[in-house]
Amino acid sequence: MSSVAQQETSNRAAIQVRDLFAAYGETVVLSRVNLDIQQGQLVTLVGPNGAGKSTLFKVLVGILQPVAGEVSVLAQSPGEARARGLIAYMPQEEQIDWDFPVSVHDVVMSARYGRMRSEGGWRRFLPPRLAGSDHRRAVREALRAVNMSEYADRPISALSGGQKKRTLLARSLAQDAAILLLDEPLAGVDRASEDLIMQVLHRVRDEGRTILTVTHDLISARTHADHVVLINHTVVGSGTRDEMLTDEMIARTAAARWVPGSARRLTPTQG
């Protein structure tokens, strides 16, 4: 895609963050974060463990209230965007109970529950088994996209690592969200699954959706991202991957433990 065409398709901000501070109790994890992410991009947040990448996701997803600052998602508050189903989130596998009695198909279908709940009248209360054809189609297409159609009826407890990842990705796809937040989408998967996942992500981006991924793995960031945001408690840099993933920028990211201008102590924490 030429840079002119890119500008035309991505002239609206997907995510805007202004002077964001986020903390767990007394420990400040994100300090004065400013970020602009355009629509239709595949953006990777890169930073060491504990840099606050997942914390930023938690703020966007709404499970952590920021201490200060403003976040807008497609020119709406994150709460409104969530209520409209505009944000899909793919957690890391550890956050899911894989012994839960549910099939692959039903996990993916659960991404449609938000939309089913906003249907009019009594349809709102229908069990998922009686979901409308549009929901069924979305689930079928998502499963096909990640090559999991033949495992649709399998209980999730019987999946391999790569299949688990693909199931969670299918769930994010089925939500039809404008923005996909993916936490370490390539961690722990084999080469074949990695290629498949990247293919899917590129296609989703080409549909005009925005993808934000998180990684501490420089190699995958180097090969896969359009746009890289270096983060270590604050945004160290933001630009194309060639601009950002230089030795100098990476060294600067690693050194950015303490940020002048923040009054609070900054300690590396889990996040």
* Residue 89 touches other proteins, criterion: CB under 8 A: yes
- Does 111 sit near other proteins (CB under 8 A)? yes
Out of 9, 16, 110, 269, name the contact with other proteins by CB under 8 A: 110
Nearest to 208 by CA among 42, 3, 4, 30: 42
Among 6, 128, 149, 269, binds other proteins (CB under 8 A): 128
Residue type, 161: G
- In the bound state with other proteins, the residue whose beta carbon lies nearer, of 177 and 189, is 177
Nearer of residues 5 and 130 to other proteins, judged by Cβ: 130
- Residue-wise burial string across 7-24, b where 16 or more C-beta atoms lie within 10 A, e elsewhere: eeebeebbbebeebbbbe
Render the chain in DSSP notation, one character per residue: --HHHHHHHT-SEEEEEEEEEEEETTEEEEEEEEEEEETT-EEEEE--TTSSHHHHHHHHHTSS--SEEEEEETTB-HHHHHHTT-EEEE--GGGS-TTSS-BHHHHHHGGGHHHHHTSSGGGGG--GGG--HHHHHHHHHHHHHTT-GGGTTSBGGG--HHHHHHHHHHHHHHTT-SEEEEESTTTT--HHHHHHHHHHHHHHHHTT-EEEEEES-HHHHHHH-SEEEEESSSEEEEEEHHHHSSHHHHHHHHHTTS-TT--S-------
**21-50 residues near other proteins, rule: CB under 8 A:** none
With CB under 8 A as the contact rule, which of the stretches 55-63, 137-145, 229-237, 241-249 interacts with other proteins?
Answer: 55-63
Closer of 120 and 127 to other proteins (Cβ): 127
107 binds other proteins (CB under 8 A): yes
Q: Cβ closer to other proteins: 66 or 237?
A: 66
Binding status of residue 151 toward other proteins by CB under 8 A: no
Q: How far is the CB of 96 from other proteins (least distance, A)?
A: 6
- For other proteins, the closer CB: 84 or 216: 84
**Does residue 162 bind other proteins (CB under 8 A)?**
no
Residue 84 sits in the site that holds other proteins (CB under 8 A): yes
Task: Among 155, 187, 217, 254, indicate the residue that binds other proteins (CB under 8 A).
Answer: 155
Which tokens go with 242?
């060639």
Q: Is 269 among the residues that bind other proteins (CB under 8 A)?
A: no
The reply to whether 221 sits near other proteins by the rule CB under 8 A is: no
Q: Please, what is the angle between helix 191-206 and helix 161-174, to 10°?
A: 10
Structure tokens at 159: 């999946």
User: Please, which residue, 106 or 226, has the CB nearer to other proteins?
Assistant: 106
Supply the minimum distance, in Å, between the C-beta of residue 88 and other proteins: 7
CB closer to other proteins out of 33 and 177: 177
Which chain residues interact with other proteins by CB under 8 A?
Answer: 61-63, 79, 82-85, 87-89, 91, 95-97, 100-103, 106-107, 110-111, 113-114, 116-117, 125, 127-129, 155, 157, 171, 175
